[in-house]
Amino acid sequence: MTEVLKASDESIGRAAALLRGGAAVAFPTETVYGLGANGLDTHAAERIYEAKGRPRDNPFILHIAEQQEIGSLVSCIPAKAKQLMDAFWPGPLTVILPSADVVPLTVRAGLPTVAVRCPANLWARKLIQRCGFPLAAPSANLSGRPSPTTAAAVLEDMDGRIPLILDGGPCEVGLESTVVTLAGEYPRLLRPGGITLEQLEAAIGPIEVDKAVLNKLEESALALSPGMKYRHYAPSAALTVVGGDAAAERIRELYDQAQNTGRNPAILACAGREGAFSGRVVYTLGVEGNDESMGASLFEALRRVDADGRTDVFAEAIEPRGIGLAVMNRLLRAAGFQYIHS
């Protein structure tokens, strides 16, 4: 049985005791819910791989409560990494740096580098403080499923697999953190997220965008960012992303075709676009161009699509700017790169 407790000083104490005992516990962050365990303990980290069914070559992010705690986890902090931490921590940014030996190889999947983030969510930070060690925490979904942005979504995937879920309400950002590596010669964006590329570049200048952000990569090109390899965030429904000038028209055709053959289709589009698809079922994302609202509803929409038994979902492509880059990155992965240009 998995217990769900509202986050409070008391339930945080309970969670910290479980974590000190080596268990994995789900907790809220401002991005998505995390499945945490002692990040300096190999056996505790194993609990996470088991509960998620996660492939062993996909490393975790270490979550800390204060910026200075990164000092003991990495072997160096380049100037640009310091600038990014000063600008965006606590917040939805993960930096990758050369690892210190103290971080178990299980946590970093054997890599010489480690991912670190200081979340903004106060419950998350209190929990880490109470534990006295960094929490290794991937998103608290079963591997391959959409990331959970509510405690109910965590329970859907984790019921019976972990002892406790701390409920801190819905996550504000709704998309995972931005992942930037500073372990190479140039800063490189590996995963777009809560902090936009534009914001990062305003802080430290040009950043390379990894090809895997919007493209399907060959096996050989994947060593840098293991997480990019898997079909992610995927609903059970068949999802297709449709882009180009005639996207709306093409989506109407595909939808009607599916309906006429006895399927149960739906459309994913930004709020305000319903008029282009009238008479059809539309699940809305946020308002295009409004970074706050854009990410917040994506994963909930993907989960609702399944709960409602939709068989075919057609998503209208989004301009890959601001949070739109992160939303397109998640949509394309959820679609297994099924993309139609029209």
Give contact residues for ligand TXA (rule: CB under 6 A): 29, 31-32, 34, 58-61, 92, 94, 96, 108, 111, 113-115, 117, 119, 137-139, 176-177, 179, 190-191, 225-227
Least distance from ligand TXA to the Cβ atom of residue 222, Å: 10
177 makes contact with Mg ion (CB under 5 A)? no
Residue 238: alpha-carbon gap to chain centroid: 20
Distances in Å between the alpha carbon of 69 and those of 15, 60, 99, 110, 200? Answer: 21, 17, 13, 22, 22
Q: Which does 338 bind (CB under 5 to 8 A by kind): ligand TXA, Mg ion, none?
A: none
Pairing of strands 164-167, 93-98: unpaired
* Nearer residue to ligand TXA within complex by CB, 183 or 242: 183
Amino acid letter for position 331: L
Q: Are 298 and 148 in contact (CB under 8 A)?
A: no
Least distance from ligand TXA to the Cβ atom of residue 172, Å: 12
Least distance from Mg ion to the Cβ atom of residue 317, Å: 22
Q: Which does 94 bind (CB under 5 to 8 A by kind): ligand TXA, Mg ion, none?
A: ligand TXA
CB-closest chain residue to Mg ion: 139
* Nearer residue to ligand TXA within complex by CB, 303 or 310: 303
Least distance from Mg ion to the Cβ atom of residue 46, Å: 18
Site size toward Mg ion, by CB under 5 A: 1
Q: What is the DSSP letter of 99?
A: B
The pair of three-digit structure tokens given for residue 101, joined into one six-digit string: 């030996």
Angle among Cα 317, 322, 327 to the nearest 5 degrees reads: 40
Count the alpha carbons within 13 Å of 288 in the hemisphere toward its beta carbon.
13
Least distance from Mg ion to the Cβ atom of residue 98, Å: 23
* Nearer residue to ligand TXA within complex by CB, 185 or 245: 185
Q: Which does 98 bind (CB under 5 to 8 A by kind): ligand TXA, Mg ion, none?
A: none
d(CA 165, CA 52): 14
Q: Which stretch binds Mg ion (CB under 5 A): 36-44, 120-128, 132-140, 308-316?
A: 132-140
Q: Which stretch binds Mg ion (CB under 5 A): 111-119, 139-147, 154-162, 308-316?
A: 139-147
CB-closest chain residue to ligand TXA: 227
Amino acid letter for position 157: D
Least distance from ligand TXA to the Cβ atom of residue 330, Å: 11
SS3 call for 19: helix
Q: Which residues of 75-106 are buried (b: 16+ CB within 10 A; e: fewer)?
A: eeeeebbebbbeebbbbbbbbbbebeeebbeb
d(CA 19, CA 21): 5
Pairing of strands 34-38, 135-136: antiparallel
Distances in Å between the alpha carbon of 200 and those of 93, 234, 320? Answer: 10, 28, 15
Q: Which does 190 bind (CB under 5 to 8 A by kind): ligand TXA, Mg ion, none?
A: ligand TXA
Least distance from Mg ion to the Cβ atom of residue 233, Å: 8
Q: Which does 240 bind (CB under 5 to 8 A by kind): Mg ion, ligand TXA, none?
A: none
Q: Kindly state the helix (H) or strand (E) to which residue 179 belongs, with its residue range.
A: strand 178-181
SS3 call for 249: helix
* Nearer residue to ligand TXA within complex by CB, 137 or 269: 137
SS3 call for 330: helix
Least distance from Mg ion to the Cβ atom of residue 58, Å: 8
Q: Which does 114 bind (CB under 5 to 8 A by kind): Mg ion, ligand TXA, none?
A: ligand TXA
Q: Which of 29, 139, 149, 181 binds Mg ion (CB under 5 A)?
A: 139
Site residues (CB under 5 A) for Mg ion?
Answer: 139
